[in-house]
Chains A and B, each alone.
Chain A
Amino acid sequence: MKKVILLLLLFFCGLNFSQDIKKDKLYKKRVLESVEIDFLSSYYSQEGSNASVTGGIGNEDLEDFNPTIVVSIPLNDDDVISIDLGISTYTSASSSNGNPFDAGVNANKTTSPWYASSGASKVDTWKNLNIDYSHSSEDRNTILNANFSSATEWDYESFGFGVGITKLYNNKNTSVSLSTKVYLDKWVPIYPKELDAYVDADGDTSSGYFNDKTIYDQEGVSSNKWSPIKGFGLINDKSRNTFSLSFLFSQILTKNAQFAFFIDVIKQQGWLANPLQRVYFSDINNFYIGNPSSIPLYTSTLNNDVFHLADDIERLPSNRLKIPIGLRFNYYLNENLALRTYYRHYFDDWGINSHTFNLELPIKILDDFTFYPSYRFYTQSNADYFEPYEKLLSSSQYYTSDYDLSKFRSNQLGFGLKYVDIFTKLKVWDLGLKSVNINYSKYKRNSDFQSYIFSVGFKFVVN
């Protein structure tokens, strides 16, 4: 009898246990139901008149085409791996002027900061790979992730890795994330042509690359007195490392409102300046190569054939501490309209202090379509080391004429459209089209710089 009772107990315990497992299996939702593939692409174009390669004046024209594919694969109920591969091809007028003494058809013809040369740096490709792995706990209240990234371009290599943890509390009303990321980057330095040639010729401006070139002073008189300050030395420390710690707190406030608070602490070390960017000092005499009669017109776009020889490349501190603090607040107004807001305050130890405000109003115009008008306002103070063309002093330890570090305000207007088909009716082979996104944004600074970007994305699920 005892054996029967024991067997019955074991049977019911087993049944109960197996029902629990079934129940768990029944209610445990996969983190990602099936493989998803995103085909994303963007076209970016900018124009401006403060090119940093030519010391803060000159043509900033740039075009960039960036196709990207993102594949997210569920490895099981809890684990997802995401592979993100992008290639960006760009043409840049200012980068081409790393060597402005190679204007194309006539290889000896010098161009000016206002026109692109045919230098090797005019066109280049940037390749990028990101792999992210995430694991969610059984109760979906803990998410662990690890990631790896790699990127290369003509003068730069980047290698990054990171880990993170997200915890959800309070019936998933509250979430807290902590993550860290390390980038171990390296310059493959490309210098302005005249500085590179100066080092090659051991400072002799009548030999080597300068052999067939005449250097002129400000008055247009031939002179051999040009030399970069302190004789110009190539950079020794080619590394640029970034260490970041990120904290995120998000909270559901009501049935219609939630917010998130972000803070990053980012420490950068190494060569934080760009070795291709020239600077010109107000207390150093000017020297040129090209047509001497164009020297008085140097800062005008009428100048197309004379170039100011660099006094030095930009020099910046080898450490930078950046602290951005962000806040997102989203409100569901009704079934057709939501409000998405974002604010960020940023400051660093180079003297930049900035505020960013972003507003987006998703409007459902049909069952399947959503329209996204958006507006972004941005303002920043200049870095302590910034001065415009010919305003820097050679006695300073650090200096730059990079207008990305200047004081400015910008406005950006954007429009987007999203089509969603949750039933993925449209099929391409085994892929079902889940959504299509298009986006256009126009960006304008109060200084002479503007750009626009057009992006498109297709999301497919593998059936």
Chain B
Amino acid sequence: MKSKKFKLIKKIALLSIIAYSLNSCASIKEYEKVNINDPDMELSQRQICRFETNFQLYREGSSGANGGKVGGGCGCN
């Protein structure tokens, strides 16, 4: 259990360092964001895919980390 916790802390720390490093690597101006602002570049799932995410939540043992639902509902069927 201790080694599991340690691995988790290590993973989170590593990802945080990467994220922090990336923070300082770019500063794109507003007028340069034409491509980034394309609706297909959004960093979330498309709205129409919400239904398949729901069934995956019920039919699989895992869930979360996709900006969607993390609980609620029994998934009885």
Q: Which residues of A contact B (CB under 8 A)?
A: 38, 40, 42, 44, 46, 62, 64, 66, 70, 90, 92, 94-95, 126, 149, 151, 153, 155-156, 158, 160, 169-174, 181, 183, 185, 187, 240, 242, 244, 246, 248-256, 258-264, 266, 268, 274, 276, 322-326, 328, 330, 332, 338, 340, 342, 344, 346, 348, 350, 352, 354, 356, 362, 370, 372, 378, 380, 383, 404-405, 410, 412, 414, 416, 418, 420, 437-439, 441, 443, 449, 451, 453, 455-457
CB A382 to nearest CB in B, in angstroms, measures: 8
**Known interface pairs A264-B70, A414-B52; 5 further A-B residue pairs with C-beta atoms within 8 A, sorted by A's residue number:** A160-B72, A322-B62, A338-B41, A410-B60, A455-B48
* B23–A170 CB distance below 8 A: yes
* A330–B43 CB distance below 8 A: yes
Contact residues in A for B75 (Cβ distance below 8 Å)? 404
* A457–B70 CB distance below 8 A: no
* A404–B47 CB distance below 8 A: no
A-B contact pairs, 12 of them (CB 8 A): A40-B47, A153-B73, A174-B23, A181-B71, A246-B64, A254-B28, A259-B43, A268-B71, A346-B65, A378-B60, A439-B46, A439-B48
Asked, given contacts A256-B35, A380-B61, whether A251 binds B74 with beta carbons under 8 Å apart, the answer is no
A64 to B7, CA, bound (A): 41
| Number of chain B residues whose Cβ lies closer than 8 Å to a Cβ of chain A | 53
A354 to B61, CA, bound (A): 8
Asked, given contacts A250-B43, A259-B43, whether A171 binds B70 with beta carbons under 8 Å apart, the answer is no
A261 to B15, CA, bound (A): 8
Asked, given contacts A95-B77, A244-B71, A332-B35, whether A325 binds B11 with beta carbons under 8 Å apart, the answer is yes
Contact among B22, B28, B46 for A416, CB-based, below 8 A? B46
* B48–A437 CB distance below 8 A: yes
Contact among B56, B61, B76 for A156, CB-based, below 8 A? B76
A418 to B49, CA, bound (A): 12
- Most A Cβ at <10 Å: residue of B12, B49, B56, B76: B76
Asked, given contacts A263-B65, A330-B41, whether A372 binds B27 with beta carbons under 8 Å apart, the answer is no
Contact residues in A for B15 (Cβ distance below 8 Å)? 261, 263, 325
* A151–B62 CB distance below 8 A: no
* A253–B25 CB distance below 8 A: yes
* A181–B43 CB distance below 8 A: no
* B8–A323 CB distance below 8 A: yes
Q: Which residues of B contact A (CB under 8 A)?
A: 8, 11-12, 15, 19, 22-23, 25-30, 32-36, 38-52, 55-56, 58-67, 70-77
* B62–A264 CB distance below 8 A: no
Asked, given contacts A258-B43, A437-B47, whether A332 binds B73 with beta carbons under 8 Å apart, the answer is no
Contact residues in B for A181 (Cβ distance below 8 Å)? 70-71
CB B35 to nearest CB in A, in angstroms, measures: 4
Contact among A326, A350, A416, A439 for B65, CB-based, below 8 A? A326
Prevailing SS type, chain B contact patch:
loop
Contact residues in A for B77 (Cβ distance below 8 Å)? 62, 64, 90, 92, 94-95
Contact residues in A for B22 (Cβ distance below 8 Å)? 251, 253, 259
* A262–B73 CB distance below 8 A: no
A405 to B62, CA, bound (A): 9
* A252–B19 CB distance below 8 A: no
A268 to B67, CA, bound (A): 18
Contact among A344, A346, A451 for B55, CB-based, below 8 A? A451
Contact residues in B for A323 (Cβ distance below 8 Å)? 8
Contact residues in A for B64 (Cβ distance below 8 Å)? 244, 246, 264, 266, 322, 324, 326, 346
* B70–A244 CB distance below 8 A: yes
